[in-house]
Each structure stands twice: as C-alpha cells, then as structure tokens.
Amino acid sequence: MITDDCINCDVCEPECPNEAITQGAEIYEINPNKCTECVGHYDTPQCREVCPVDCIPVHPQYLEDKNQLMLKYQGLMAQKKGVPAS
C-alpha cells in the first residue's frame, strides 16, 4: 500500500512489473489484486526500492506468503496470455 506520505514523484509507477500502481485521486495507489510484492519478477519489491520517501509498507490486510504471491503471479500471467495481442 501507499501511504499519504506519497509526494507524487511518479517514479514507482513505471517500475511495477504488474502494472499494479496507478495515480489515484490524491496520491498513487496499489491494486492489491495485482501486486505480488514483485514475486515472480524480482527478488525485492521494486516500488519500495525507488520510493524516495519510503511510503510503501505492506498492507496489513494483505499479509501473503511467498507461495500465495507466486500463485497470484501465475494467475496474472495466465490472464495476460488470455488477452489477444492488439
């Protein structure tokens, strides 16, 4: 999740391999259904690496272990494959 310490610096959004980060009404937001904490893509959460104000903690309602995150990653990849190339 992104807290209201976010300064809208825009650097995290392009780093997300799952396109889970979008600009919300006030600050950037993470779609928890798309966030795998970068499992499947990278060893560490890329948004957290780049955020200059360290405002991206794990959402307390989405405490997922590596296996759950990997299953989510696989689901997201299967969804992607199902979308015809445009």
Rounded Cα distance, 18 and 7, in Å? 22
Binding of residue 76 to ligand SF4 (CB under 6 A): no
> Which of the stretches 47-55, 60-68, 78-86 binds ligand SF4 when contact is defined by CB under 6 A?
47-55
Selected from 46, 64, 83, 86, the binder of ligand SF4 by CB under 6 A is 46
> Which of the stretches 13-21, 60-68, 76-84 binds ligand SF4 when contact is defined by CB under 6 A?
13-21
DSSP string, 15-76: G-TT--EEE-SSSEEE-TTT--TTTTT-SS-HHHHH-TT---PPPTT----HHHHHHHHHHH
Token couple for 35? 């966030």
- Residues in contact with ligand SF4 by CB under 6 A are 2, 6-12, 15-16, 18, 20-21, 28, 30, 35-38, 45-47, 50-51, 53, 55-56
